[in-house]
Structure 1
Amino acid sequence: MKAMVFAAGYGERLRPLTERVPKALLPVGGRPMIEYPLLLLRHYGIEEIIINLHHLGEKIREHLQDGNRLGLKITYSEETELLDTGGGLLRARAFLAQNTFIVINSDVIIDLSLTALLKSHQRHGGIATLVLRPDPQADLYGAIEVSEDLRIQRFLAHRAPRSEAAGDLTKYMFTGVQVLEPGVFDHMVDEDPFGITRVTYPKILVQGEALYGFPFRGYWQDLGTPERIAEAESKLRSGELKLHYLQA
């Protein structure tokens, strides 16, 4: 199995820190933040990884090189302009399109069992499974509505229509971790930069294909602001947070 890690963004909310250092290389708990998703993938035997690059991408490439130091085989996808998540994935199609693959944002720390995630994805048989978390502020970030059978019914921020037979729905927030089938590329058009949750997934729902959620209640932290980095740093340094994939 292969994976993609998104690392092309500017890290606007982290300026001025990201003016000279790419967001993915900002230190958190003694290591660059991008190493957390990379080490999670390695723990589950996923060693072939593609990373998209744009802002200060040469520094990410210089730090990680071919991945051998981390026990990985890293390939890079250069973006001369930011392609967003959908466009970035589409550019990496040749690398990913042979089998089921995983996509993770470089700016999240999550204590997730990829084994459980993949079993859920295989059991449901959808074109993609998104790791979701309950959050009282989900509406602020674009809630995702999920039915009792864990089938995603609507991305609220984008007003995609929901099935009338969906029944009671629960709102969740997307964690930035997902499993996809190669068939997702058939729903993408090579156009202006586009987001997969903003454009591709709502279109898939309209066409009647299945997307599923994987509810997750363990530790997750987005590292998009100095305050969130400081929170994760404190928990890692104190030993309060022990990530299973970093334990000897």
Structure 2
Amino acid sequence: MTQLPALILAAGRGERMRPLTDATPKPLLHVQGKPLIEWHLEALARDGVREVVINTAHLEEQFPATLGDGTRWGLRLHYSMEGRDHGGALETAGGMTKALPLLGDAFWVLAGDVFVPGFRFEADAAEAFVQGEDWGQMWLVPNPAHVPQGDFALTAPGRVLRKDAAPAGTPAYTYSTIGLYKPAMVDGIQPGEKAALRPSLERAIDAGKLSGRLYMGPWVDVGTPQRLAELNAATPAR
């Protein structure tokens, strides 16, 4: 079974991580002995992904200098350089749109600043998504302390809904920043346009084209120096 390519989002400035991100992009900060983004690269390679696009903007020259062409992981790395081409980050939907020529008809997307060592990029999940009609499938996680209200509602059959439009009692969860997507998710966004993902997700919800799964394994949004320090003080992940 052929795996889909993946896009790792790594263009952000990481304001909440300053001063650490003044000299180093957040995905290149070390977690338990190696750059955070390397945990993703190792997981993608383990699960059969071979083509990986990394979108960059802040201190973007450090990514190819640090990661090279991906050979050491058995990957082919491509860089979608938003800083060089557009003067800065295009946000998530804008970054997806710019990278589409490198991604094809369906692809994984994951943020470079989350730590989720146990996640499996399952080829059968990717294949089922390709065969289906949805524009996207997102993995949601139990709400962390910093997002107690959650982002989206998830029904028992696996449909993602707006929280304010979901039936009473439908649980709300937090977006893990991992998902499977098709180009239809970002229809109407022009290459080089700055665009957040949330409006595109809500458009897909309203069209009945967004599914979801709940991930219960370890997951950390490495969004503050404190969370980074806590991860590095914890028992190393395998």
Name the TM-score class by shorter chain: 0.7 to 0.9
What is the deviation of 1:119?
6.5
Give the TM-score normalised by the residue count of structure 2: 0.86
- Over 3 Å counting, the alpha-carbon distance change for 1:176 and 1:2 in structure 2 is same
Matched residue, 1:95: 102
Aligned AA (2:180)? V
Matched residue, 1:143: 151
- SS class of match (1:114): coil
Matched residue, 1:133: 141
Runs of 4+ in 1 over 3 A off after TM superposition: 116-125, 136-142, 187-192
- Pick aligned residue for 2:78 from 67, 75, 81: 75
Percent of residue pairs identical: 30
Q: Whole-Å Cα distance in 2 between the matches of residues 145 and 232 of structure 1?
A: 28
Q: Is the 8 A contact 1:188 1:200 kept in 2?
A: no
- SS class of match (2:45): helix
Matched residue, 1:204: 204
Q: Whole-Å Cα distance in 1 between the matches of residues 32 and 9 of structure 2?
A: 20
- Over 3 Å counting, the alpha-carbon distance change for 1:152 and 1:72 in structure 2 is same
Matched residue, 2:184: 183
What is the deviation of 1:181?
2.1
- SS class of match (1:145): strand
Matched residue, 1:245: none
Matched residue, 1:174: 175
What root-mean-square deviation, in Å, do the aligned CA atoms of Structure 1 and Structure 2 show? 2.3
- Over 3 Å counting, the alpha-carbon distance change for 1:220 and 1:139 in structure 2 is closer
**Structure 1 unaligned spans of 5+:** 243-248
Number of aligned residue pairs: 229
Q: Deviations over 1:135-173 (max 9, x none)?
A: 16575575201222110111x4xx6xx37xx56411000
**1:55 and 2:58 are equivalent in the alignment:** yes
**Structure 2 unaligned spans of 5+:** none
Q: Is the 8 A contact 1:37 1:108 kept in 2?
A: no
Give the TM-score normalised by the residue count of structure 1: 0.83
What is the deviation of 1:120?
6.6
- Over 3 Å counting, the alpha-carbon distance change for 1:114 and 1:185 in structure 2 is same
